[in-house]
Each structure stands twice: as C-alpha cells, then as structure tokens.
Amino acid sequence: MHPARIVLRGCRVEKVELKNICISYGEHAVLKDFSLKIEPGQIMGIVGPSGCGKTTIARAICGFIKPQQGTVKIDGKTMFSHEDRVDIPPEQRHIGVVFQDYAVWPHLSVYDNIAYPLKKRRLSKEEISPQVQNALEQVNMVGYEKYMPSQLSGGQQQRVAIARALTSSSDFLIMDEPITNLDAKLREQMLVEIRMLQQRLGTTIIYITHDQEAALQLCDKIVILELDGSIAQIGSDEEIIRNPANRFVFQFIGVSNFIPVVVEDGKVFFDLEKKILFKSLIHEKMPGPKAMLGIRPMDIVFDDDSPVRATVAQSVFLGNMYNYFVRLPGMEIRVQQMVISENAKSYSEEQEVGLAFLEERYFEREDA
C-alpha cells in the first residue's frame, strides 16, 4: 500500500513535508539531509544568504529538479520519493509559482496568461472567465485583461504573475523572490497586498527571499538557512529577533557588533589589544570562559559614567538618527542614537565617550 493512501482521520496533515532531501550539482552538495514541515494556511519564509539553496528547495517542491535522496509530500501525498521511485511531474503537483523575473509570457495577453492554467484543466470558456476576473480582482488588476505584458510596469507584471499562480492553485503558492526586481516603495506595497491576499484566501505561501526585513514583516514563520543549506533556526519573527539561535542568525537579521570577551577572576573583560573591564559579574548565558559578545548598534548608549571608555572615530547624521563609529583599542564598533531620545546629543569626532551596553548576547567563540 502506498503511504499516500494512509491518511488517518483527525491527524493533522502538513501542507508540505520534506524529508532527508539531498541535492547536489555535480560535486557541489547544495542540500544535505534537509527536512522541513510547513503547516497549512500560513506564510512560511525561507530566508538565507544567496547561494544557500533556498531556490533549490522551491524547485524540489515544484518538481523542477529531482533530489538524489529523500521524500517530498504535499497534503500528505507523496510527490517525490527516491525510495519508492515516485516522481510526480510538475504539472500534476498543483502549485502556483511566482518567479523573481515574473515569467509572464510575453506573447500572451494578461487574460490569456491568467487563463492558461484553467485552459490546461480543460474548463469551458464560461467557467474560465469568472475565475480570471476573480484573480484579477485579488491583485487589483481589473481592466487590464487585453494588455500585453510589454505594456505593463514591473509591478503590474508581477501582479499578473501572482494572479496566474492563483488560478493555478489558490491554496498553495511558492513565491521565489517575488519583489526583488521592484523598487523600494512598490516592494512595501506588494508585501502588504500579499499579506492581505493570504488572509482573505487562507493560502499557504512559501516565501523565498534573501531580504530578512521583508520576511520578518510578512511571514508567520521563518526558516533561516546557513550558507551550507542547513537550517539555522525556525521560528516566528518575534522568536528569531528575541532569541537568535546563533551568531549567524543574529548577524543575518540585522546590523551587529561583535566583541570578543574573556572571563578572568570572575570578571568579564573585552579581549582586545588591551583587556578592558566590562562587567564584574558573569552573565548566566555565557557559553564558557571565552565568548563572543554580540550587540545591535541601537543597544549601545553613551554613558559618561561607564567604565568602558572609547573615542568617536566618525559621526554621521542620518536625519532620524546619528550613526557613530566608535574606536575601542584594536576595534571599531557601530553605535546608533535616535535623535528623539532624551540623552541624544551630538558627539564630535575624536571625543572621548563612555559606553553602556543594554542588551548584549553571548555566542560561542571560534578560538575558545
């Protein structure tokens, strides 16, 4: 009996389940033993630096590439299994895909582009028309049916691509960097629209991006991939911001400073060219006597009473904040001050300042 047939009543079925996927291009292994579950009805962000295998995951789910190992299930049904020698072709997996370069067919009108999946399902003209209209409404493109893609802007073409993906499958979309080719303002707007669309239709969306900010803004859950394609952390936006699993995640999701620290005589020192006393108490989360302290520029404040002394190397006014580079012995760190905050005052270059650290984190140190 095939595993796809045994779906127990009451058991929650994952929308997508990847198990032990291995994919390599020639010598270069992109995914090694990769497993991931995606729940229905949410936006799952897959985020990672470029070249980490995000797109490879999407292509494996769609069936555009064949993994060397592992299983892909959608709605509990096996789409690919190396062991059972199952490989459902992409056209039978019923996934709506939105590509980074839109992939709107230039030789077909907007209407024909969106109607294409329905035509392939051999629906009659009377059935197709209302569905196309509905899809156009979802992406605010009513009235553009007769346009050719070359007459549309990038943002409009991407809406057509989303509408086409919706007529292909309204309950499961994969979006691969859908807004990367748009300008900043339009990106913001598209994010809001994708969110609203998802809430209206309850679509499961896999959203692939290298832009951690967009992912944090849009997704219910985020998978952060390391450069080697392994999973660094899975969690909600809040979990990831509050509790980054490791140094990679912390660094990936925002601007960060790292300062090596060392514990001597129960006190914590900055382990720089000169040892600087940082705290006289050991933090309970320190992984060992040697650690790496990570801190966001916003979480460092100027405090004249602090024992940590530094020199301002460079000061830049950015309108709503000051951006400073501050010199510690053998290292420069970044400090940001909101202009509205009370103790914000302008520090000039080469001025000596005291620094207080508000919310520091400790990570493993490579030479520990």
Partner 1 sequence: MIFSRAINRDLSRLEGKGGFRLDRLMIILCYVALITVTILPVFMIFYYAFWDGTKIDIATFKLVIFQKSNIRCMWNTLVIGVCSTALATVVGVFFAWLLGRSDIPMKGLMKFLFSIPFMIPPFLAAMSWDMMFSGRGGYVNKALMSLFNLTKSPFNINSVAGIIVIEVVYYFPFVYMQVVSALERMDPTLEESARIAGASQSYVIRKITLPLTVPAISSGMLLVLITSLSNYGIPAMLGYSQNIFTLPTMITALMDRAGGSFEGVRQSAALSIVLVFIVSIALLVQRRLMTRGRYDIIKGKSMRPMLIKLRGAKYPLLAFSLVFLSLIVVAPIVMIILVSFVKAYGLPFLAENLTLANYRRIFVGNIMVRDSVKNSLFLAFSAASICLLLGTMLAYVIYKIKPKGGIALEMMAVLPYSLPGTVMAIGCILAWSGAFFGITLYNTIWIILVAYIARYLSYVLKSSSAALQQVHVSLEEAARSCGASHTQTLKDVTLPLIKPAMISGFFLVFLPCMRELTTSILLYGPKSRTLGVAIYQLRINGQIAPAAALSVVTITLIIICNNIVKAITRDKKRG
Q: What residues line the site for partner 1 (CB under 8 A)?
A: 2, 4, 59, 62-64, 66, 75, 77-78, 84-97, 99-101, 103, 105-107, 116-117, 120-121, 131, 134, 150, 161, 164-166, 168-171, 201
Give the ranges where 16-77 is alpha helix by DSSP (H).
Answer: 54-62
What is the closest distance, in whole angstroms, from the C-beta atom of residue 82 to partner 1 in the complex?
8
Q: Are 30 and 53 in contact (CB under 8 A)?
A: yes
**CB closer to partner 1, 78 vs 198:** 78
Distance between CA 295 and CA 166 in Å, rounded?
42
Half-sphere exposure of 159 (CA within 13 A, CB side): 25
**CB closer to partner 1, 67 vs 294:** 67
What is the closest distance, in whole angstroms, from the C-beta atom of residue 176 to partner 1 in the complex?
9
Positive or negative: CA dihedral 24, 161, 13, 52 = positive
Which whole-number Å values give the CA distances from 287 to 261, 263, 319, 362, 368, in the listed order? 11, 11, 39, 7, 10
**CB closer to partner 1, 107 vs 125:** 107
Q: How does strand 300-302 pair with strand 290-295?
A: unpaired
What is the chain's Cα-based Rg? 25
What is the closest distance, in whole angstroms, from the C-beta atom of residue 168 to partner 1 in the complex?
5
**CB closer to partner 1, 12 vs 185:** 12
**CB closer to partner 1, 160 vs 262:** 160
What is the closest distance, in whole angstroms, from the C-beta atom of residue 150 to partner 1 in the complex?
8
What is the closest distance, in whole angstroms, from the C-beta atom of residue 51 to partner 1 in the complex?
18
**CB closer to partner 1, 120 vs 146:** 120
What is the closest distance, in whole angstroms, from the C-beta atom of residue 170 to partner 1 in the complex?
4
Q: How does strand 352-357 pair with strand 300-302?
A: antiparallel
Q: Which of 193, 166, 196 is nearest to 182 (CA)?
A: 193
What is the closest distance, in whole angstroms, from the C-beta atom of residue 299 to partner 1 in the complex?
41
- Torsions phi, psi for 205 (to 5 deg): -125, 130
**CB closer to partner 1, 62 vs 312:** 62
Q: Which of 113, 93, 222, 226 is nearest to 160 (CA)?
A: 113
Distance between CA 53 and CA 7 in Å, rounded?
31
What is the closest distance, in whole angstroms, from the C-beta atom of residue 75 to partner 1 in the complex?
7
Q: Are 240 and 64 in contact (CB under 8 A)?
A: no
**CB closer to partner 1, 19 vs 77:** 77
- Torsions phi, psi for 92 (to 5 deg): -105, 10
Q: Are 113 and 165 in contact (CB under 8 A)?
A: no
**CB closer to partner 1, 145 vs 226:** 145
What is the closest distance, in whole angstroms, from the C-beta atom of residue 358 to partner 1 in the complex?
46
